[in-house]
A and B are shown apart, each in its own frame.
Chain A
Amino acid sequence: MFTVETCAYCHLPISAKAVERRLSGTTRLFCCYGCFLLFQITTRRKQERSGKWFLTQIGIGTFLTMCVMLIGWVLEEFPAHPYEKEIILSAKWLIWALATSVLILIGYPLLKRCVLALASGSFLIEGCIGVVCAVLYGYSFANLCNGREPLYFDTVCATMLLVTLGKILEATSKSIAAQDIREFLGHEKAPAFRIDQDKIAHTTALHLEPGDLVRVPPGYTIPADGKVLEGCSRIRRTPLTGEREPVVCREGDEVLCGGKVIDETLTVQVIKTGKDTVLARLLSVVERSVLVPSNRRYLVDQALRLFRPLILVAAICALLWSWQESRIGAWVNLLSVLVIACPCALVLTTPMATTLAVARAAREGILISEAAAIEKISNVNVCIFDETEPAETGESHSYSDPDWSKRDIYTLTADGTGSSTALAEVCDVQTTTTTTATLSSRIIATCTQLQAKGLRTVLLTGPSFFTGKEKIYPPAIDGFYTGISSQEKAELLRSYREQGYVTACVSEYPSAPVWASDADIRFTIGANYKEDLLTNPVTFLGTDLERLPWLIDLSHRVLRTVNWNLAWSSFYSIVGMFAAAAGMVAPVLAAGIMLLGGSLVAGNTAQLHNYPGPSESHPYTGR
Chain B
Amino acid sequence: MEHLPSLLMGLAGSACSWETFAGSVLSLSLRNHGRIRRLVALILYSVGHGFTYLFLGAFAGMAGRTLLKGGVLTSAHAGILFCAGLMMLLISLEMMGFPTRLHLLHHFPGETTIERITAHYRERFGELTPFYLGLFNGFLPRPLVYAGLTLAFASGNAINGMGTMAWFSVGMLPILWWVGTSGFLISPTMRSRLIHAMAIVVLGVGCIMVWRALPIRAEGGLQVTTEMSEMIFTPSP
Contacts and interface: CB of A to CB of B under 8 A. Distances in A.
B62 A169 contact: no
B125 A76 contact: no
Indicate the size class of the contact surface on chain A.
Answer: 20 to 34
A77 B158 contact: yes
Contacts of A77: 157-159
Contact of A606 (B113, B127, B136): B113
Interface string B127-142: 1110110011000000
Contact of A176 (B55, B116, B128): B116
B58 interface: yes
A35 to B, nearest CB: 13
Contact of B121 (A55, A74, A76): A55
B159 A74 contact: yes
A131 interface: no
B113 A599 contact: yes
A183 B51 CA distance: 37
A172 B125 CA distance: 15
A79 B113 CA distance: 41
Given A62-B135, A73-B58, A74-B158, A55 B125 contact: yes
A73 B61 CA distance: 9
Contacts of B114: 599
B82 interface: no
A335 interface: no
A563 B199 CA distance: 42
A66 B162 CA distance: 13
Interface string A168-180: 0100110110000
Contacts of B110: 599, 603
Q: Which of A59, A63, A173, A176 has the most CB of B within 10 A?
A: A59
Nearest to A173: B117
B59 A73 contact: yes
A514 B114 CA distance: 49
B113 A56 contact: no
Interface in A148-185: 169, 172-173, 175-176
Interface in B48-95: 51-52, 54-55, 58-59, 61-62
Contact of A63 (B58, B135, B157): B135
A369 to B, nearest CB: 28
A190 interface: no
B120 A55 contact: no
A224 interface: no
B191 interface: no
B124 interface: yes
Given A172-B117, A603-B112, A70 B128 contact: no
A70 B54 contact: yes
Contacts of B128: 52, 55-56, 59
Interface in B1-56: 51-52, 54-55
A410 to B, nearest CB: 45
A66 B51 contact: yes
Contacts of B121: 41, 55
Contacts of A51: 124
Interface string A64-84: 001001100110110000000
A66 B55 contact: yes
A133 interface: no
Contacts of A63: 51, 131-132, 135
Nearest to A51: B124
Interface string B88-127: 0000000000000000000000101110110011001101
Q: Is the interface of B mostly helix, strand, loop or mixed?
A: helix
B113 A52 contact: no
B165 to A, nearest CB: 11
Contact of A55 (B52, B124, B157, B158): B124
A360 to B, nearest CB: 16
A55 B132 CA distance: 10
A74 B54 CA distance: 11
A192 interface: no
Given A77-B158, A603-B113, A172 B120 contact: yes
Contacts of A66: 51-52, 55, 135
Nearest to B121: A55
Nearest to A170: B117
Contacts of A62: 135-136
Interface string A559-600: 000000000000000000000000000000000000000010
Contacts of A175: 120
A59 B113 contact: no
A394 to B, nearest CB: 59
B182 to A, nearest CB: 28
Nearest to B133: A59
Nearest to B159: A77
Contact of A59 (B125, B158, B159): B125
A602 interface: yes
Contacts of A176: 116-117, 120
Nearest to A56: B128
Given A59-B132, A70-B58, A41 B159 contact: no
Given A55-B124, A603-B110, A606-B113, A76 B132 contact: no
Nearest to B117: A172
Contacts of A76: 62, 158
Contacts of B162: 70, 74
Q: Which of A66, A73, A173, A176 has the most CB of B within 10 A?
A: A73
B236 to A, nearest CB: 26
Nearest to B118: A172
A123 B121 CA distance: 31
A4 B8 CA distance: 56
Contacts of B62: 73, 76
A63 B131 CA distance: 10
A19 to B, nearest CB: 20
Given A55-B124, A62-B135, A70 B55 contact: yes
Contacts of B129: 59
Contacts of B125: 55, 59
A565 to B, nearest CB: 13
Contacts of B54: 70
Contact of A41 (B112, B113, B124, B131): B124
Contacts of B159: 74, 77
A602 B110 CA distance: 11
A606 B116 contact: yes
B155 to A, nearest CB: 11
18 contacts: A52-B124, A55-B125, A55-B128, A56-B128, A59-B129, A59-B132, A59-B135, A62-B136, A63-B131, A63-B132, A66-B55, A69-B58, A70-B55, A70-B162, A73-B158, A74-B58, A602-B117, A606-B116
10 interchain residue pairs of minimum CB distance: A603-B113, A59-B132, A73-B158, A66-B55, A73-B58, A172-B117, A73-B62, A77-B159, A77-B158, A70-B58
Given A41-B121, A56-B128, A599-B114, 10 more contacts: A51-B124, A55-B121, A55-B128, A66-B55, A69-B58, A70-B55, A74-B58, A74-B158, A173-B117, A603-B113
